[in-house]
């Protein structure tokens, strides 16, 4: 099987992820932060190691500012719903995933208003449009780092500067970039960073996280046991305990720590370089095939390793099915949980076939994908 669905979740993972998760489950998966025995302490130390590695990767000051969640969606919900209140206004973009758009829509019923900045037909955002949309009651600017439909990279640094100048919290959805592109929360003025653990960070599913700047008061979404301040009935306000009630996904977080360790060892530049090279190959190959339409920038420097295409008027679901059944190639079709993005690029009705590249893909994988699309196009067009 040739796996080109890394935007959904990365597969496979680095070997050390499997090895340490297995070791954790067999040797030290006690409940961290609860009991005081050796195994619980070892589990607690392993979780702390993951926090520290994430701090190194994202230039976060303190490991206590990293909150673990079960995926990027939970992190986005926590950041968005924990920060916004009645009467607040939010500026976001027309390329957002439903994990941003749906919480914002849910908040409309509670008196939060939203401005969606229209991006162009390749998904590009003009940061000046963000600036123009700011109102007196704008309480949050939130954008994706890269579209999960077209891969289009957003002007994060520019938007971060605008947010800082205007004193508005800036939240970044790094679902498609964490572990591949450089993210520096200080340099980019990011106040809240939401990331999945199971995509570019190469950890297992069931992991994700949120960085919250110490200057922000984000309300927790749940209350319960934290292992700390057990004498109090109120939720502790100390972080990360405030946001991490209940027994954590210890083995998953340990696996995430190994994924991040792998990235820190290789370096994001090497990972990005490899993915950029393969993205360039894929774009070049597809551009030569009659009847294939490529969406987005069609330039590996301007997009993450996500390439969306259509073949003539062909049904995207059917093409993805043929790629799987006849060629052993895993892709994703349809709207990719991002109807806003598909409306922006004009593919709401047809959807697209999405090929998404990961660090473990090879040049041979890309050649096989191009050959398969060539054969399918010859049949359809
Ligand atoms: C841009 C974007 N945001 C958010 C998410 C949600 O991530 P998760 O599946 O970890 O909840 C995704 C998932 O594909 C995404 O691509």
CATH of the domain at 274: 3.90.1150.10
Residues 216 and 284 in one domain: no
pLDDT at 139: 98
What is the rounded radius of gyration, in angstroms, for the C-alpha atoms of the chain? 21
Q: Ligand 1: which atom is nearest the Cα of residue 74?
A: 11
Residues 291 and 260 in one domain: no
Residues in the chain: 381
Residues 261 and 143 in one domain: yes
Residues 59 and 194 in one domain: yes
Residues 116 and 23 in one domain: yes
Predicted confidence band of residue 33 (pLDDT cuts 50, 70, 90): confident
- Continuous segment of H or E residues that includes residue 117: strand 113-117
Predicted confidence band of residue 233 (pLDDT cuts 50, 70, 90): very high
pLDDT, tens digit, for every residue of 274-292? 999 999 999 999 999 999 9
The pTM of the full predicted model, rounded to 2 decimals, is: 0.98
Q: How far apart are CA 147 and CA 176, in angstroms?
A: 7
Residues 296 and 247 in one domain: no
Task: Identify the CATH number of the domain in which residue 133 sits.
Answer: 3.40.640.10
Mean per-residue pLDDT of the chain = 97
Mutate-to-test residue for ligand 1 from 8, 103, 195, 196, highest number of ligand atoms within 8 A of CB: 196
pLDDT tops 90 at residue 34: no
Ligand 1 pocket, CB under 6 A: 7-8, 71-73, 97, 99, 144, 148, 173, 175-176, 196, 208
Give the mean model confidence (pLDDT) for residues 61-90. 98
pLDDT, tens digit, for every residue of 90-101? 999 999 999 999
Give the mean model confidence (pLDDT) for residues 59-63. 97
Residues 6+ apart with CB under 8 A from 139: 83, 84, 85, 88, 89, 90, 168, 169
For residue 191, give Cα distances in angstroms to 101, 223, 240: 19, 23, 16
pLDDT at 35: 86
pLDDT, tens digit, for every residue of 111-137? 999 999 999 999 999 999 999 999 999
% the chain with pLDDT above 90 = 98
Q: Ligand 1: which atom is nearest the Cα of residue 198?
A: 10
Residues 77 and 123 in one domain: yes
pLDDT at 310: 98
* Segments forming the whole domain that contains residue 274: 2-10+268-380
Tell me the two tokens of residue 266: 């290789």
Residue nearest to atom 12 of ligand 1 (CA): 175
């Amino acid at each position: 099987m040739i796996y080109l669905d890394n935007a959904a979740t990365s597969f496979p993972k680095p070997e050390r992820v499997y090895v340490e998760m297995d070791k954790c489950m067999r040797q030290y998966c006690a409940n961290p932060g609860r009991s005081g025995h050796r195994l619980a302490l070892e589990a607690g130390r392993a979780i702390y190691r993951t926090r520290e590695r994430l701090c190194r990767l994202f230039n976060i000051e303190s490991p206590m500012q990293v909150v673990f969640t079960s995926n990027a969606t939970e992190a986005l919900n926590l950041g968005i719903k924990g920060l916004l209140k009645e009467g607040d206004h939010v500026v976001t973009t027309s390329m957002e995933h439903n994990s941003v758009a749906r919480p914002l829509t849910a908040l409309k019923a509670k008196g939060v208003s939203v401005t969606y900045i229209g991006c162009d037909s390749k998904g590009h955002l003009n940061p000046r449009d963000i600036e123009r949309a700011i109102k007196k009651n704008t309480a949050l600017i939130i954008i994706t780092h890269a579209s999960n439909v077209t891969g289009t990279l957003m002007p994060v640094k520019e938007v971060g500067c605008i947010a800082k100048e205007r004193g508005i919290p800036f939240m970044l959805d790094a679902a498609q970039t964490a572990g591949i592109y450089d993210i520096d929360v200080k340099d980019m003025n990011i106040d809240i960073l939401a990331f999945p653990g199971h995509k570019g960070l190469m950890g297992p599913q069931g992991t994700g996280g949120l960085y919250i700047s110490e200057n922000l008061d984000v309300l927790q979404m749940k209350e319960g046991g934290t292992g700390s301040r057990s004498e109090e009935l109120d939720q502790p306000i100390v972080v990360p305990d405030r946001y991490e009630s209940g027994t954590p996904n210890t083995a998953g977080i340990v696996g995430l720590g190994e994924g991040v360790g792998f990235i820190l060892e290789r370096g994001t530049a090497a990972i990005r370089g490899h993915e950029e090279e393969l993205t360039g190959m894929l774009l070049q190959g597809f551009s030569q095939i009659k009847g294939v339409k490529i969406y987005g920038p069609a330039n590996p420097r301007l997009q993450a390793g996500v390439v969306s295409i259509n073949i003539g008027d062909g049904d995207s679901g059917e093409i993805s099915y043929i790629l799987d059944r006849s060629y052993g190639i895993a892709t994703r079709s349809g709207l990719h949980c991002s109807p806003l993005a598909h409306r922006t690029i004009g593919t709401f009705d047809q959807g697209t076939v999405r090929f998404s590249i990961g660090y473990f893909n090879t040049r041979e994988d890309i050649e096989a994908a191009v050959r398969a699309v060539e054969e399918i196009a010859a049949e359809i067009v």
